[in-house]
A and B are shown apart, each in its own frame.
Chain A
Amino acid sequence: MILRVERLTRRFGGLLAVNEVSFHVEKGEILAIIGPNGAGKTTVFNLISGLLHPTSGQIYLEGVPIAGLRPHQIARKGIARTFQTTALFNQLRVIDNLVVAHKLRTTHGLLDTLFRTRRWRADREKSLARAVEVLEFVGLREKALHPVSTLSQEEQKRLAIGVALATEPKIVLLDEPTAGLIQDETDGIMTLIKKLKAAGVTVCVIEHKMRLIMDLAERIIVLNYGNKIAEGTPEEISRNDAVVQAYLGGEYAA
Chain B
Amino acid sequence: MRRGQFFREKWPYLILLVFALAVPALFPSRYVLQVITMSCVFAIATLGLNLILGYTGQVSLAHAGFFAIGAYGVAMMTKAGLSFWLALPLSALLAAAVSFFVGLPTLRTRGSYFAIATLCFGVIVSIVAGSWFSLTGGHTGIVGIPLPNAIPFPLVGEIGFHSKAAQYYLVLGFLLLTLFVMHRLVNSVQGLSFVAVRNNEVLAGAVGINAFATKLLSFVIASFFAGIAGGIYASLMRSVSPDVASINLMFNWVVYLLLGGAGTLAGPVVGTLAISALTESLQFLAEYNLLVFGALLVAAMVYCPRGLVGLVEAGGKKVRVYYRRQVGVRSDLEG
Please give the residue numbers on chain A whose beta carbons come within 8 Å of chain B beta carbons, in ascending order.
Answer: 49-51, 70-72, 75-76, 80-81, 83, 87-92, 96, 99-101, 103-104, 106, 110, 113-114, 116, 120, 123-124, 127, 163-164, 166-167
Contact B208 A90 (CB under 8 A): no
Given contacts A87-B203, A123-B189, contact A100 B196 (CB under 8 A): yes
Contact A89 B185 (CB under 8 A): no
Partner of B206, one of A80, A92, A110, A120: A80
Partner of A114, one of B181, B200, B206, B210: B181
Contact B184 A71 (CB under 8 A): no
Contact B188 A91 (CB under 8 A): no
Which residues of A sit under 8 angstroms from B196, Cβ to Cβ?
89, 92, 100
Contact B217 A110 (CB under 8 A): yes
Q: Which of B198, B200, B208, B209 has the most CB of A within 10 A?
A: B208
Contact A89 B203 (CB under 8 A): yes
B190 within 8 A of A: yes
Q: Mark B237-274, 1 if CB is under 8 A from A, else 0.
A: 00000000000000000000000000000000000000
Tally of B interface residues using CB under 8 Å: 24
B15 within 8 A of A: no
Which residues of B sit under 8 angstroms from A96, Cβ to Cβ?
192
Q: Which of B181, B198, B199 has the most CB of A within 10 A?
A: B199
Contact A110 B207 (CB under 8 A): no
Which residues of B sit under 8 angstroms from A70, Cβ to Cβ?
205, 210
Which residues of A sit under 8 angstroms from B208, Cβ to Cβ?
72, 75-76, 101, 103-104, 167
Additional 11 contacts, C-beta under 8 A, given A92-B196, A103-B208: A51-B205, A71-B206, A87-B203, A87-B206, A88-B200, A91-B199, A92-B195, A96-B192, A104-B208, A113-B190, A116-B184
Contact B202 A167 (CB under 8 A): no
Contact A99 B202 (CB under 8 A): no
Chain B nearest CB from A29 CB (Å) reads 22
Chain A nearest CB from B91 CB (Å) reads 20
Which residues of A sit under 8 angstroms from B217, Cβ to Cβ?
110
Give A135 to B206 CA distance when docked, in angstroms. Answer: 19
B49 within 8 A of A: no
